[in-house]
Structures are given as structure tokens and as C-alpha cells.
Amino acid sequence: MPRHATPSDIPTPSTAFKASDHAADGKHHILLAATGSVATIKIPHILAALAAYPGISIRLMLTASSLLFLPPLTSLLAATPNLDGIHLDHHEWPAALSPESYIAADPLPLAPDSESERDLESVGFNSSIWTRVGDPILHIELRRWADILLVAPLSANSLAKIVNGFSDNLLLSVVRAWDTAKPIACAPAMNTLMWEHPVTAKQIAVLESEWSWFTVLRPVEKVLACGDSGSGAMREWTDIVQWLVTKMKLEKAESDQ
């Protein structure tokens, strides 16, 4: 059984990401994100489907809890030719999180094997690439780079944080700093009773009725991972990909048509 992804899969880069370095690449820039839902297991399928579109550049943004549902991240990079980067929370705030504080605050992303014992200095927790005013800031650069943000899946927790303006991880910071002239789409995924809870209805109403730059790809009814049956399952990943292809007017390589 392969281990799941961990923060150490993608150490903090030695140089900062800058949107301006990619402004003239002639590609559609797709910022894909996943949160802490079991539906994150569909991310490799979404990436595989999008690999058929050579005119796009994909960057994947992952919350810490989403790593539990993914294979080692280097395998995603190797399998997806147009996946040009993976961005994790410690890439934004490496100096603020020592290994000890990170483990105490959120131990789950560390694999339950001998690699958990490694010296996490190599991950880049203490190697900040922001040193002075004017240096690139990752969540701002990703917002500048992206033509669209697709969050699939969007967990109940991240939904609540987005609507209430939280920005305590990389994804939430990007959403809070978003240019509302550009679209965001989200595919909620949660337990049926969480989806049917009155507070969820209020939060979805904000996205659908008040925030015009948001599109909610509503969940479907099926048997959920927990065994319950009902609405709340993320929309089929094939439908999500087709929505994105239509929205961005993407074209496959001639050999795939």
C-alpha cells in the first residue's frame, strides 16, 4: 500500500514563483485546488483528463488535510505533463512554522512510517523566500497567474471559512485576495447532513447569489464514503472537467480529437 502525500514531497522552492515569468506563455492558466475531503482522491483523474489539453498550464494548490487522500506528489508531477507546479502551505509561511509547531498543530499530513522521523529541515520550514518589501508573495502571485480557480472538492470546513473571510492557509489567502473579474468554481463535497444543514444553505446562497464570480457545481446523490446515502457527494469528476473545458473553451491536441 503506497503512502499518502506529505509536505516533504514538495520542499519550499529556492526561488519565488512569479506570475510575470509566465505571462507570455500563451496558455490558459488553471489553478486547481483540493481541500480535506475524501473526494480529493479524484484529483489524479481530473489531472489525467486535463493532460489531453496542451494549451493549458495547471498549478495544483493543496491544503494540509487534502494530502491524506493523495499519492506522493512527485507521482502526480511525473504523470501530468502540463502540471507545472504544486503549492503547499509551508511554501507561503516557511519561517513561521518550525517542525515542532507544525507537527503539534496539524500532525495528520505526516506519513505513519519511518519517514515521519526525518529531519524536517529539508522540507523548507525555516527557509523563507520572502525577505523584504517587493519580494513576490505566493498567494498574490498565484492570483495574478490564474485565469480561473477550480476548488474540487470544497469541504464543509473550507466553505465556511471562505464565506466568513478566513485566510489562514494558502488556498484561503488566494480566495480572499482574488480578482473578482476572474471566475472561481467550487465543487462542494460533504456528508449528507452537513450538506443539508441550514448553515450550509446560507453559505451556498452567499456564493450563488451575492458573489457573482463564483460558480457552485452542486453535489449529487449517491452512497457516500461513510456509508450514508444522499446528497453531498462531489459532482462526477468527468462533469467537472467538462464544465471547465466548456468554460475555458479548451481544445485537445489534434491527435486526441
Contact predicate 224/230, CB 8 Å: yes
**Cell numbers of 117, please?**
522521523
Number of helices (H), then strands (E), belonging to the chain: the values are 10, 8
User: In the chain, helix, strand, coil percent, each to 5?
Assistant: 45, 15, 40
Q: Phi/psi of residue 45, each to 5°?
A: -70, -40
Own/partner pairs for 109-113, CB < 8 Å, 24+ apart?
A: 109/5, 109/6, 109/7, 109/64, 109/65, 109/67, 109/68, 110/6, 110/7, 111/3, 111/4, 111/6, 113/3
Active site residue 226: yes
Q: Is the peptide bond before 7 cis (omega within 30 degrees of 0)?
A: no
**Of 23, 193, 205, 226, catalytic:** 226
Q: CA angle, 93 as apex, 188 and 42 as ends, to 5°?
A: 30
DSSP string, 166-196: ---SHHHHHHHT--TTS-EEEEE---HHHHH
Which residues are tagged catalytic? 226
